[in-house]
Amino acid sequence: MKVVIQRVTEASVTINKIKVAAINQGLLILVGIVNEDTQEDINWLVRKVTNLRIFNDENGVMNQSLLDAKGDVIVVSQFTLHASTKKGNRPSYIKAAKPDVAIPLYENFVKTLQKNIDKQVQTGEFGADMKVALLNDGPVTIIIDSKNKE
């Protein structure tokens, strides 16, 4: 499982011209899932995401976690995170899990994250054509892959 974490001052998800999610200060988390992913990957990533010290403290130093900053969260599924670009110019998404595998894992990621923070986790819609808008704060963008824990 791979996530791209973006620290934002605001973010939103729009589907068919309807805004389905919107946050202020917090994290926009893009999630890509492969067939080999398990609840263990979810648990590890949720611990990392919630405790990663990427929010500024009173001295302007990135020393606070999502929990400390009491930030908002939007989670968006994004199979393109597992694109392979080794051959040719058309990305291959063969590594990305199909919906029958990915949807339950995505939903479990959201539920597990929800259990670990004091705010509602907002989401896009799995498989929808989403328009994601964000104002990246910093910019701070971090990529974490549960398969590269060491």
**pLDDT per position as a tens digit, 39-83:** 999 999 999 999 999 999 999 999 999 999 999 999 999 999 999
Contact 71, 120 (CB under 8 A): no
What residue spans define the domains of the chain?
Answer: 2-145
CATH number of 2-145: 3.50.80.10
CA–CA dist 54, 136 (Å, integer) = 13
Contact 99, 50 (CB under 8 A): no
Q: Is 38 a catalytic residue?
A: no
Question: What is the C-alpha R_g of the chain?
Answer: 15
Identify the pLDDT of residue 119.
86
For 101-143, write each residue's pLDDT tens digit: 999 999 999 999 999 998 899 999 999 999 999 999 999 999 9
Q: Is 79 a catalytic residue?
A: yes
CA–CA dist 2, 30 (Å, integer) = 8
Contact 23, 72 (CB under 8 A): yes
Q: Which residue has the tokens 């990135």?
A: 62
Identify the pLDDT of residue 149.
79
What are the φ/ψ torsions at residue 77 (nearest 5 degrees)?
Answer: -75, 140
For 15-32, write each residue's pLDDT tens digit: 999 999 999 999 999 999
For 51-63, write each residue's pLDDT tens digit: 999 999 999 999 9
Q: Is 120 a catalytic residue?
A: no
C-alpha angle 99-104-108 in degrees, rounded to nearest 5: 140
CA–CA dist 14, 30 (Å, integer) = 15
Active-site pick, 55, 79, 109, 123: 79
Residue (of 28, 50, 31) closest to 146 by Cα position: 31
Active-site pick, 9, 38, 39, 80: 80
Active-site pick, 6, 50, 55, 78: 78
Peptide bond into 104 cis (omega under 30): no
